[in-house]
A and B are shown apart, each in its own frame.
Chain A
Amino acid sequence: MPKSLPKTDVVIVGMGAAGGVASLPLTNAGLKVVGIEAGGWLSPRDFAPDELRNGVRNWPQSAQKAANEAPTVRASSDQRAVQGGHPMMNAVGGTSMHYWAQSWRLNPWDFKVVSATRNRYGANRIPAGSTVEDWPFGYEEIEPYYEKVEFAVGISGQAGNVKGKINDRGNVFEGERQSEYPMRPLRSSPFTDQMNKAARSLDWNPFQGPAAITSELYDGRPPCQYHGFCNKGGCHVQAKSSTAVTTIPKAIDTGNLDVVTYARVTNIVTDNNGKVTGVDYLRGSEEYFQPADVVLMASYAYENVRLLQLSKSRAFPNGLSNNSGQVGKHYLSHHQGSPVIALFPHDLHNWYGLPAQGVAIDDWADDNFDHAALSFIGGANLWVHTDRKPISAAKMSTFGRGRNWGTEWKKFIMENADRTNTAYIQKTTLPYDGNYLDLDPSIKDTMGFPVTRITARYRENEKRIAEFSQTKMEEWYREAGAIDIIKTGLGDAMGASTHAYGGTRMGNNSETNVVDRWGFSHEAPNLGILGASVMGTSGSRNPTLTVQALSWRTAEHLAENWRSIVG
């Protein structure tokens, strides 16, 4: 029998980007919260500027809970799924410790893909087989929560639309904001200036993207030092606005948050009436039961879904909150592949750049351009950034110039190490019938529980966006003076991704969605779910800020409606 602990008001499973944000409004409201985290605390001393440690050894991700339960992947149900790696990390702060920290709001179109497409182009333009729905609310409803999170964690950026006033130094396509960003954008660089100028000469609208990185002294944290080891690395000066240095310490300061580290939740416990009563977790070799009035699941999309599927009970024989069979459905992983790589005839000065220091183009994203004569809906955000390290530079493409080793190759990389750039192109990705998450029938984790199996593949709409956006990206690079371009193809399977969505989708219809408009289960009323697993569309930009805004909103709703939710 697990050791039973004193009851708490709320248990949050996972103290990462989502759970870390939710802990603050809850504890500010006086609720007692226990945050259960599979990883431990990391400090700036753990983030050496070391490419081998971050990029080759994957130190932040090694020996992690997530690594032991990496999903298996297959494109369709007639194939055998193969286990790959897991892209996320376990720590207090979760992947907000070592992510790129691009912190976008979704555009208004992303919340109403179905109705907006039907109204502008006709109902037959929704791709065949897609299970996409409008969100249960529009951009306007989430806007105040975007703003709360931008200030609470600290986001730098250039607004493009404040109360309807358009500023063309920001994103002119963004939804209306009520305020400027709390900090100016990260500084530009010689290369981003060059790309900005090229975009202007194409009559496009370039702007510096938003980042969860300080551009100036903010809330006691120093500004970014631009040393450039963000990718898979945490920040050595706490300039990256991870929840581990922002909302979580503030929640601890209220005296209402206890963080339990190195603890793995194995089961969410339910009573016979279908209410959750707490969680079982394993810490070392000891088993515990943490009772709570409310459970908020805030691990990554794969783990949220898996834990529901593993938590079977009399009330939920097919897994928690899965009596309508929707857990695991409407899964998608963001289409970020098929990049464009450019070679320039001069050094780009990118040795000290970072992935969030860049220039964005939104002209070809979402429904920001006319699709009437095109064969797809949605689009792509084009992003070029300044990030280069010596090992990855030496492994650069040879652009078809002969052997990739020996004297001639060595001469080539000596000349061109600082002359390439790879665009990061995030594309609208839709949910489809036949794309889903379930438990793998044969592969298990180290504790003997089955891992998640991803069955998903890209469809025609995604492939057409890939081709279209690559053409636009090449045009931009050429305008900036690139002398050679490589475009790589799009694979078939949607592999495990840092941008995984769906599986516990949010919506008013309980027949097609797992959680309601507030993020609470349609079936277990005191179970809330945080994270991109509740998102039904991807947009064409990074999900974290939307995840955090939704988490704040769910937590605030819980605090304000405590009695009715606890029952």
Chain B
Amino acid sequence: MTKNKKSQKVDNLSTQEPSNTSRRNLLKSVGIMGAAVGSGAAAGAIAQEGSISNVMSNPLSKEALEVLTASEAETLESICNCLIPSDEHGPGALEARAVHYIDKSLASHNKDARELYMVSLQAIDSYARKTRGKPFYQLINDYQNSILLAVQNNKVPGCSPSGSGFFNMVRSHTIDGTFCDPYYGGNQNFVGWDMLKYPGVRLSASEIDVAQGAALPPNHQSAYDHDTYTKMAAASTSKQGRGVDNA
């Protein structure tokens, strides 16, 4: 996400459009990739094959897993796809890259949940192997759904803090990753916001904007497309910065 260096002005009322078209094209290509991966009943299994060729063409695919193991990520991606599926109504958690978000968040604001994921994903995968003879991510979608329902109903042993506790947490994190600002690594290509017909973050909304409701064209901007909120604008001074510290 390179920024246009020339537009680093500090203007709180700025409503300028981001001018970086190459970034948009890049995101578009990711979105297309995601849609192809996400369709079909055994989305997780297809994703395994699909990812090989996409690594070559898509630099974003080279991002490392920061916290999760490869196997944990496979299981979690299938869970996310059950929760917010890619289906006839459009893209879901896969295209939004909710797993990428969760992985990153486990190194920062969700780090206390790391162990709960470790223990519970392993318990769910073991349960899949024991009851269906295959890793969770290789099961058909119906079997995955029935196992996830069992997790929610506390029927899968070994989940932590409990089946329903883990379920509620992973559901909450999957929603966070699907509908958050794309800065955090989810809601890729704004698929989450488009899903809800949210027209996007703005620095100003007029009465006419509001009256349009869902008809207002989405602006597809991250909060951090506005330079004022980034590290790059650190040269600015605030009026309140005076009168500090007599200690």
Residues on A lying within 8 angstroms of B by beta carbon are 5, 34, 41, 43-45, 48-53, 56-57, 92, 187, 189-190, 222, 225-228, 236-237, 244-245, 248-249, 252, 257-261, 263, 283, 286, 288, 347, 349, 351-353, 390-391, 393-395, 403-407, 410-411, 413-414, 417-418
- Stretch of B36-44, B113-121, B122-130, B193-201 at the chain-chain interface: B193-201
Is the beta-carbon distance between A187 and B247 smaller than 8 angstroms?
A: no
Inter-chain CA distance A252–B83, complex, in Å, is 53
Q: Which of B87, B179, B199, B241 contacts A394 (CB 8 A)?
A: B179
Q: Closest residue of chain B to A35, judged by CB?
A: B243
User: Which chain A residues lie closer than 8 Å to B109 at the CB level?
Assistant: 56-57
A9 to B242, CA, bound (A): 21
Write out the residue numbers on chain B whose beta carbons fall within 8 Å of the beta carbon of A260: 244-247
Instruction: State whether A390 touches B192 (Cβ < 8 A).
Output: yes
Can you spell out 29 A-B residue pairs with CB atoms less than 8 angstroms apart?
A45-B236, A48-B223, A48-B224, A49-B202, A50-B224, A51-B181, A56-B180, A57-B109, A187-B207, A226-B206, A227-B202, A227-B203, A245-B240, A248-B240, A257-B243, A258-B245, A286-B247, A349-B213, A351-B198, A351-B199, A352-B210, A390-B192, A390-B193, A394-B179, A405-B82, A406-B85, A407-B87, A414-B89, A414-B197
Q: Known contacts A257-B243, A288-B247; can you find 5 more A-B pairs with CB under 8 A?
A: A45-B238, A49-B223, A258-B246, A352-B205, A395-B175
CB distance from A39 to the nearest CB of B (A): 12
Q: Tell me if B172 and A395 are in contact (CB < 8 A).
A: yes
| Across-interface contacts of B204 in A (CB, < 8 A) | 225-227
CA–CA, A394 to B195, complex, Å? 10
Binary A-proximity of B83-101 (CB < 8 A = 1, otherwise 0): 1110101101000000000
Inter-chain contact A405/B84, CB cutoff 8 Å: yes
In the complex, what distance in Å separates the CA atom of A484 from the CA atom of B179?
Answer: 25
- Minimum CB–CB distance from A362 to chain B (whole Å) comes to 26
Of the residues B82, B209, B233, B245, contact of A45 by C-beta under 8 Å = B233
B13 shortest CB reach to chain A, Å: 6
**Which B residues touch A189, using CB under 8 A?**
210
Specify which chain A residues have a CB less than 8 angstroms from the CB of B213 in the assembled complex. 190, 347, 349, 351, 418
A257 to B242, CA, bound (A): 11
A403 to chain B, nearest CB (A): 8
- In order of increasing CB-CB distance, the 8 nearest A-B pairs are A352-B205, A43-B238, A252-B243, A225-B204, A48-B229, A417-B196, A390-B179, A349-B213
Cβ-based interface call for B10 (8 A): yes
Pair B13/A225 contact, Cβ less than 8 Å: yes
Q: A406 contacts B246, CB within 8 Å?
A: no
**In the bound complex, do residue B180 and residue A391 qualify as a contact, i.e. CB atoms below 8 Å apart?**
yes
Question: Would you call A41 and B241 a contact (CB within 8 A)?
Answer: yes
CA distance A225 to B204 in the complex (A): 5
Question: B7 → chain A, closest Cβ, in Å?
Answer: 15
Cβ contact of A249, chosen from B195, B226, B233, B240, cutoff 8 A? B240
Q: Tell me if A406 and B145 are in contact (CB < 8 A).
A: yes
**Closest residue of chain A to B108, judged by CB?**
A57
Bound-state CA distance A41–B213 (Å) is 36
Which A residues are CB-close (under 8 A) to B172?
395
- B contact residues vs A (CB 8 Å cutoff): 10, 12-13, 82-85, 87, 89-90, 92, 109, 145, 148-149, 171-172, 175-176, 178-181, 183-184, 192-193, 195-199, 201-207, 209-214, 223-224, 226, 228-229, 233, 236, 238-247
Residues of A within 8 A of B145 (CB): 406
Task: Assess the B205–A227 pair: CB atoms within 8 A.
Answer: yes
Smallest CB-CB separation from A229: which chain B residue? B201
Inter-subunit contact A417/B197 (CB<8 Å)? yes
A145 to B222 CA separation, bound complex (whole angstroms): 43
Q: How far is the CA of A34 from the CA of B226 in the complex (A)?
A: 37
CB distance from B168 to the nearest CB of A (A): 9
Minimum Cβ distance to chain B for residue A233 (Å)? 11
Task: Determine the residue in chain B with the shortest Cβ distance to A46.
Answer: B229
Quick check: A393 and B228 within 8 Å, CB to CB? no
For B203, list chain A residues within 8 Å (CB).
49, 225, 227, 236
Contacts of A405 in B (CB 8 A): 82-84, 148, 171
CA–CA, A406 and B149, complex, Å: 10
B240 touches A394 (CB 8 A): no
With A44-B238, A405-B83, A418-B214 in contact, do A52 and B197 touch (Cβ < 8 Å)?
A: no
For A52, the closest partner residue in chain B by CB is: B180
**With A and B bound together, what is the CA distance between A222 and B209 in angstroms?**
19
Is A244 a contact partner of B240 (Cβ separation < 8 A)?
Answer: yes
Known A41-B238, A52-B184, A394-B178: A5·B85 in contact at CB below 8 Å: no
Other-chain residue from B180, B198, B201, B239 in contact with A417 (beta carbon distance below 8 A): B198
Contacts of B198 in A (CB 8 A): 351, 390, 393, 417
* Nearest opposing residue in chain B for A393, CB measure: B196
- In the complex, which residues of chain B have a beta carbon less than 8 angstroms from the beta carbon of A413? 195-196
Whole-angstrom CA separation of A288 from B247 in the bound complex? 8
Cα separation A548 to B233 with both chains bound (whole Å): 35
* Structural contact, B82 and A406, CB atoms closer than 8 A: yes
Q: Which one of A390, A413, A414 has the greatest number of beta carbons of chain B within 10 Å?
A: A390
B237 nearest CB neighbor, chain A only: A43
Given contacts A41-B238, A260-B245, A347-B213, contact A222 B13 (CB under 8 A): yes
Q: Which residues of A contact B181 (CB under 8 A)?
A: 50-53
Contact A410 B89, CB 8 Å, known A260-B245, A347-B213:
yes
Name the residue on A nearest B179 (C-beta).
Answer: A390
Cβ of B223 and Cβ of A418 under 8 Å apart?
no
Kindly report which residue of chain A lies nearest to residue B174, judged by CB atoms.
A405
How far does the alpha carbon of A236 sit from the alpha carbon of B12 in the complex, in Å? 6
A351 to B, closest residue via Cβ: B198
